[in-house]
Structure 1
């Protein structure tokens, strides 16, 4: 009898562990998960999914192999990027489903921030707005104090505009966007990290970091009226990495160290404009 009782206990434990594994995968059933530049659309079993890129093109398949989800990229895709992104998602999913973690498969919890240039491994805040990492914790940023805009005229821009369209009635016209004080209240190092809260349907590629000119009592950006396709002139835009860590949070980091100077970060109108300065490396 004792032997039979032990056998029954053993069988019950095995069945419980099996059920836990199945439930973990079934929690992905019919889920659509957006992560980085990809979308995972799981089938009803929760053990396979199609993978789409930002353009809606199928770039891979997720299959369960020996109880573990594996990424199988299609030929001609960026296999390394795809597998790296999937590995990051799996790590987040494992953390969020561990004891005391979140139970949401759709990455609604905010995982630790990370970036290709060594971002902080500290969870992003879930509050609305933009935060920066001060070396130990995320701190809330304040919106840039904008001053009244000014109209101006640029001779060099006028020649450019006339070269494209000799009949352009607004050739050479510019708009000057001004920000209070010659320096932002926040100063960071050359490799800052920012957590940005966004809506689930917002395209994070609109978030940019750009340089501003320093004047005696303010900072400003002059932009040609004829070329306002973006909220920042192309020559001012700094290259950034944007990593979506949840449906409503992205981490923004510069691809290369920022030179000393004054900057703005934003993605209007959905994301406001925030300002900061960069000190010289010591």
Structure 2
């Protein structure tokens, strides 16, 4: 019996040796949603479940050759971007956008590791703002990332609205860093809040929650799901993965993306 082919999601992410975040989180989440991940590594990292110790960006020219080979050979339905690692990599990916402008881009702006290590120098933030965000269909920043990208001091809502104005069509502002009893996520379109999603706050810290969310969202968008429902489904999946997360190291828990 002939079955339909799974949509392909092209992923740009760092390699996390713990398997909690980065490219492995992408592959697991995308597969769980019935899509096929085409993974391209942006950086090799040294990290554990506590923090990123160091990282090395890959060669941007090699990355671009990898991506072009996939895009010429496979029908890519969505692009998911996580850790970019260098301004040169951001510029390389931008050149792809100019040729493949019809493919929706889901951007998880990975600027800081869960343990606090900075993963983005200023030239990378500038490149993200000028080259990547204007081509982004759905941006998924947490509150600190939204403030850092916009150089906004304390107002996440204003930051989300500004990110819309900078070119991101949808901004899903995640609320785990706020002090609310429940976690409140908000989806913005045209600088207006379109939908609020509320979840019970979990007591632990997790390694790869943002990667899980953005990869899930990319898979759902690849299947032509409408953005408001795609965000709901991706948030549901992520919350469940965190609820059943495993303490595989002595630091942050690893999401269980198989439940």
Q: Same fold (TM over 0.5)?
A: no
Q: Select the structure that is richer in strand.
A: 1
Larger radius of gyration: 1
If the length of structure 1 is used for normalisation, what is the TM-score? 0.24
Q: Select the structure that is richer in helix.
A: 2
If the length of structure 2 is used for normalisation, what is the TM-score? 0.26
Which structure carries more relative contact order (alpha carbon 8 Å, separation 6+)? 2
